[in-house]
Amino acid sequence: MSKKTKYSLCIHGGAGVITKKDLSNEDKRLITGDLEASLTAGENILNKGGTATDAVCAAVEILENSIHFNAGKGAVYTRSGQHLLEASVMDGATLKAGALANSKRIKNPVLFAKTLLNRDDVVFISGDSVDILAEELGHNVVDNNYFDTNFRKEQWEFAQSLSDDAIFLDHSNLKMGTVGAVALDTHGNLAAATSTGGMTNKLDGRIGDSAMIGCGTYAKNKTCAVSCTGIGEFFMRATVASTVSNLMEYGGLSLEKASYQAIHEHQAKLGGDGGLIAIDALGNITMPYNSKGMYRAFISERLNKKKVFIWDEAEESN
C-alpha cells in the first residue's frame, strides 16, 4: 500500500498596485475572508482524499462568486462595456487541459474549463460557441449584466477617460484581480486553475494568459503546478507557467528558483508586472511577485500551516 501524500493548496486573488493606504480595513477583512473561504473549499476536498483538480476548481469557484476579484461576478468591463470571461484548468497527472475565452454568460468559467478535461476533441474554445456548449452541458449561464459591479464600472469609466496608449502602458490605477489555485492531493497528483475577466477596458476579443495553457496555467506531476496573475501580454510572451516547469525539469532548478527566475527575470525584463503561485510534488510552495502586492494564501498539511498574505507579511488567519 502506497504512503499517503500530505496535501497542500495555494491560491491567489491577483497581483497589482495594492497599497496599504488605499486598502481600507473593511475591504481587507472582506477580501481575506474570501481567500480563507476559498482555501476551506479546496481543503475540504483534499482532506477527504479528493483530487487536486477538484480542489483547485472548488477554490477558484469561491473567488469567481466574489465581487472582490476580477473573475466571474467581479469581472472588469471591456472597451464596449461588457464582460468577457476566460479560464483554464490543467491536470498534472494526465496533462489534460481545458480552457475558454470570451464567454459572456458562464457564471463559473472554471467549472466549464474542468469539463473539457474529459473531451478529446477540444482543449481551448472561444466566443459564442463557449456559451452555447456550456448551456448544452447544463452549466449555470446568466445574463452578462450579472457580472456588473459599481466598482468595476467606475474603473472602466476612469479608463475610458484616458488614452488607449495610457491604458496599455500604465495599469497602476486599475486594480487587477485574476484568481487561481494550485494543489497537491493525497495521491501525489498536481493541478492548476486560473480564471479572469481580463484587463479593464480591454479590446473586445482580446485574450490573456489566464486562458492559455503554458502561459497562465500549467501542471505536470514530474515538476509543478503554476497559476499566474498580472499583465497577460508579458506572461504570454514569456510563457511563464511552463517556463517554471521547464527550468525544473531540464535546468535542474528548485521550485523556488525556477519561479523567481520566471517572474523576476523572464517576464519582468520584458516590462511585465505580476506574480505566480506554484507547488511541487513534495508540497513545497512559492508565491513570487514583482508588483506592489498580491492577494494569496496557502494551507499545508505537511507544515501544519495556513496563512493569508497581501504584502510580504502574513495576515492573521485561523
- What are the residue numbers of the active site? 178
Asked if 17 and 306 touch (Cβ cutoff 8 Å), the reply is: no
20 Cα distance to chain centroid: 22
* Cα–Cα dist 36/52, whole Å: 18
Question: Which residues, including other chains, have CB under 8 Å from residue 218's CB and lie 6 or more apart?
Answer: 90, 192, 224, 225, 226, 241, 242, 244, 245
Cell numbers for 222: 514530474
Sheet of 274-280: strands edge to edge?
217-220, 224-230, 274-280, 285-286
Residues paired with residue 225 on neighbouring β-strands, in sequence order? 219, 279
* Cα–Cα dist 194/177, whole Å: 11
Amino acid at 224: C
N residues, the chain: 318
End-to-end CA, the chain: 34
Pair type for strands 97-103 and 285-286: unpaired
